[in-house]
Structure 1
Amino acid sequence: MNTVDAEAANPATKMRRIRDRLRDGAASNGIWASLQQVCNLLFVGLLSVILARTLPVEDFGVYSYAMSLAGLGIAIGLAGLYGLAIKRYSESREPGTVTCSIIIVREATVAFYFVALLGFMGSTATSVDEFLLVALAAVAVFGRVLDAPELWYQARLNARKPALAKIIVAAVFFAAKCTALWLGSGVTVIVALYVAELFAGSVAVLVCYRRDVTSGRAFAVPGARDVVDLWKRSSPLLISGIAQQVNLRASLIVVQILVGATGVAMFAVSQRVMDVCLALPMAYMTATFPALLEARRKDRDSGGGSAYRDRLQRSFDGALWAGIAIAVLLYVLADVVVVTAFGAEYEDAAALLRIQALAVPFMFMSSVLSKWIIAEGNLWISVGRHWLGAVATVALCLLLVPKWGAVGAAWASTASYVMSVYLFTFLSRSTWPVAVQMSRAWMAPVSRVLARAGSQRVES
């Protein structure tokens, strides 16, 4: 072994490399953003397990339905402004106007959603209690979208502070919910605490942001033109986000209408696991997005394209194979995961989890694809792919759910995800480059083995 190989194999050298990697802004940002998501999903998952073991199956189904519709509103309110807002913060010297513009656009969006939701529930709710519970949960959307300054931290590659603030708030309210259940409180109190938690988390981020802004004003009244411009720029991704959420949640809504709360409870157990698979790669890619933009900018300035293309390919490779690894684990351990966590009453959900696990690799690649769309400015591509998935989900649900119930809904959501993430990219010349990169990702292990073998032959 030569001295270079010996040094590379040295444990101290490996530790230094890990330390340097953690100090890198993009990596550290991604780690903190992912840690926040892990903690949030951990608290939500544990609470779901406790509720599933405490409540009757039908009551847990109603609770899951209410939380899903609230989550739908939150996702729509945040859609379109993740990467776009980070880019706006990076380019602006006046963070206050950007922050207030984002908040105005978000709050207006969720206000429209809230009104539409009340109308929808008025025509589909099976009881007054169900209507009121969903309406209460939906109030949370107004609090969640106030955390616009979190994206200011992301743009500065400093996700640590808002992540810590939100983790602390989530831990406190998780303890409060557990205490409420121990004291015998019902679902309504748990939902009310959920609403308070989202408002408290956003307020914590706003307070941190107000203290950390040293250049420019933290809050400033934006001009109407700025708000309208931000809304126009985000509208393609907003429309796309609505379609994405229809794609993700239409199955559960159709199950509620055609099957009932028990079917929703089974589907919700499977979907809770899938939410983890969707949130983690999205959090990491949002946090590392500034580094991807920087690679693209450097290539554009130098007239090249290799650094940006290579970073994108590595992202697709890692996303796909991480998704495959998780999909295999979920498929093999579905029964153990469901029965151990939620109880024997939910064993039928294991079959749904196996079906939905097939979509995990495509969920992971979707997080990379969405950031490529923003970086390239091809926002209407996002609209097209998500509406394709939404139409496919609704059509397949209406076709399969009446005959196969929740199992049909699981197949519908899985098939639509494959269509909207992978197959869609072959339909347009503008998306062929990423179609090729996603296809190459399937061969990433072979390519790396061949590359390593080639380098070893050169050294010898």
Structure 2
Amino acid sequence: MRYFKNTSWMMSEKVLRIVAALTIGAWVTRYLGPTDFGILSYAQSFVGLFAAFSTLGLDRLLARELVKESEQKYVLLGTSFILQTIGSTILVSLLFISIYFNDNDELTNKIIVIMGLLTFVNSFNIIGAYFQSIVKTKHVVITSIIGLIVFTIIRIVLILNDAPLIYFVYAIAFDTIFLILGAIYVYFRSKQSLFKWKFSKTKAKSLLSDSWPLILNAIFISVYVRIDQVMIKEVMDSESVGQYAAAVTLSQAWYFIPGIIGSSLFPAIVNAKKVSESLYYDRLQKLYDLMVLLSVSIAIAMTFLSDWVVEFMYGSEFYLTGDVLSIHIWAGVFVFLGVSVSKWILTENLQRISSFNLFIGMVSNIILNIIMIPKFGVIGAAFATLISQSISVLFTPLLFKKTRPSFFMMIKALSFTSVLRRVFK
């Protein structure tokens, strides 16, 4: 029950943020228009390309280490904080170098710098990992929800007062700082102290030794999901980025569903493996089937309703967004399946193959964007995402004997053969 309540608080905060993104976030997008929203999205994507250097994979690793070595919590927290601060220094240095060589306007580069400097503040996110390790995220989540409410009110006030783009960037910075100050406050209230944090070279080497595969994966993912918007800006313009980014926001709004389903059903799949292989693979197949049914249903609905949804949420200025959405939404089929595959890979301890799959997806996405954006514009970028997702999730498992069973399960799910057998047996 304690773990369930902890997870429920975390999921509640995520759902609220998604709702805010689809309501107030859509209003902000509509207010800014394609060009200003494109500048903001480009800057966020540009910084996102280097994001792996600021976290160093420690965001995923730290909670586990704090559970294993709770008596070393101050050393773990202090060492992780220093490492992430060094990582943020590397990130900001790379941003300044890239800014020196790019031809962006002054406002775009200013936003990039602000977003980059916020990664130093985000180093304090390790406090969240501490509360996860002791299964007490409630108060941190409450602080986050309060911050979301304040952030929402600020954005509404900015819209009503016809504020320029840079004020919305300051609002994002305020939201980030508010969340961190809230986490620090909760940390002190729980009778902990930042001044007890300690740095250890030995622990730093140990953490980096364990986190380097995560750093690699994070780099692949960062480039994979951000490169399209950066390339659209370089090849086309900020307005095109805005048209595309608005569609991506609506398309990715559904991606919390497979995360919830995967986390909920994962224990049942692991337990089935202990009972028998046949039960294990039967439950996996049912998970794949469910993911395909849900994602295809969403994709079909959004394909037919895309123009209406975009007109309702963003207005007529986003005239290309509906076409992009009707294509990009189908990438969600492979995202849903990818979550299922990741659970299977974790159970089978095949994480290295997962890294290879991400690498192939990243490379294919870059190549396809280089080919398709100059010829087909934002529509080409949407097709590049769809094709690269299918290559990474569906076809790369064919390259390894150990992962081929997953390919055949996905084919069954996509062809609905296993579903039809259950219906008509």
**Structure 1 length as normaliser, TM-score?**
0.80
- 1:166 to partner: Cα distance: 1.3
Correspondence for 2:229: 252
Offset at 1:338? Answer: 0.7
In structure 1, the residue matched to 2:356 is: 384
Q: CA deviation at 1:415?
A: 0.7
Instruction: Give 3-state SS (helix, strand or coil) of 2:104's partner.
Output: coil
Gaps of 5+ in 2: none
Structure 2 counterpart of 1:20: none
1:261: which partner in 2? 238
Identify the range of structure 1 (435-444 vs 191-200) with the bigger mean alpha-carbon deviation: 435-444
1:338 — aligned with what? 310
Deviates more, 1:402-411 or 1:427-436: 427-436
What is the deviation of 1:159?
4.5
Aligned-residue offset at 1:400: 0.9
Q: What whole-Å deviation, never above 9, does each CA across 1:82-136 have from its counterpart, x for those lacking one?
A: 5533432332233333333443443333332222222223322331222112211
* Separation in structure 1 between the aligned mates of residue 112 and residue 250 of structure 2, nearest angstrom: 22
Whole-Å Cα distance in 1 between the matches of residues 256 and 199 of structure 2? 31
Match of 1:171 in 2: 149
User: Is residue 224 from structure 1 mapped to residue 201 from structure 2 by the alignment?
Assistant: yes
SS in 2 for 1:184: coil
Report the equivalent of 1:363: 335
Q: Which residue of 1 aligns with 2:401?
A: 429
Q: SS at the partner of 1:126?
A: coil
Matched with 1:352 is 324
Residue 390 of structure 2 corresponds to residue 418 of structure 1: yes
Tell me, yes or no, if structure 1 residue 151 matches structure 2 residue 129: yes
**Which whole-Å CA distance do the structure 1 matches of 2:269 and 2:115 have between them?**
41
Q: 1:125 to 1:368 in 2, by over 3 A?
A: farther
**Equivalent of residue 325 in structure 1, options 271, 276, 297:** 297
- The reply to whether residue 131 of structure 1 matches residue 109 of structure 2 is yes
- In structure 2, the CA distance between the partners of 1:92 and 1:322, relative to structure 1 (3 Å rule), is farther
| Mapped contact 2:296–2:333 kept (Cα < 8 A) | yes
| Cα distance in 1 between the residues matched to 2:409 and 2:64 | 24
Which letter maps to 2:299?
Answer: A
Q: Return closer, same or farther for 1:323/1:150 CA change in 2, 3 Å cut-off.
A: farther
Partner residue, 1:38: 15
Equivalent residue letter for 1:416: S
- Matched residues in 2 for 1:218 and 1:148: separation? 15
Supply the distance in 1 between the matched residues of 2:295 and 2:180 (Cα, whole angstroms): 31
Percent identity of paired positions between Structure 1 and Structure 2:
21
Aligned match of 1:63: 40
Structure 1 contact 237–379 (Cα < 8 Å) conserved: no
TM-aligned CA distance change 1:392 to 1:39, over 3 Å: same
Structure 1 segments unaligned to the other structure (5+ residues): 1-22, 454-460
Partner of 2:419: 445
- Alpha-carbon distance, 1:59 to partner: 2.2
Q: CA deviation at 1:405?
A: 0.8
Once the two structures are TM-superposed, the CA of residue 394 in structure 1 deviates from its matched residue by 1.1
1:191 aligns with 2:169: yes
Deviation at 1:184, TM superposition (A): 3.4
Residue type matched to 2:302 in 1?
L
TM, length-normalised to structure 2: 0.86
The residue type paired with residue 150 of structure 2 is V
- How far residue 56 of structure 1 moved from its aligned partner, in angstroms, is 4.5
Q: CA 1:309–1:366 in 2, change beyond 3 Å: closer, same or farther?
A: same
Query: Which amino acid in structure 2 is aligned with residue 122 of structure 1?
Result: Y
* Residues 106 and 373 of structure 1: CA distance in aligned 2, closer, same or farther (over 3 Å): farther
The alignment of Structure 1 onto Structure 2 pairs a total of residues equal to: 422
Contact 2:59 2:126 in 1 (8 A): no
Give the superposed CA RMSD: 3.3
How many Å apart are 1:157 and its aligned residue?
A: 5.1
Shift, 1:339, TM fit:
0.8
Could you tell me whether the CA contact under 8 Å between 1:73 and 1:141 is conserved in 2?
A: no
Mapped partners of 1:75, 1:284: distance in 2: 27
Change (3 A) 1:415 1:382: same
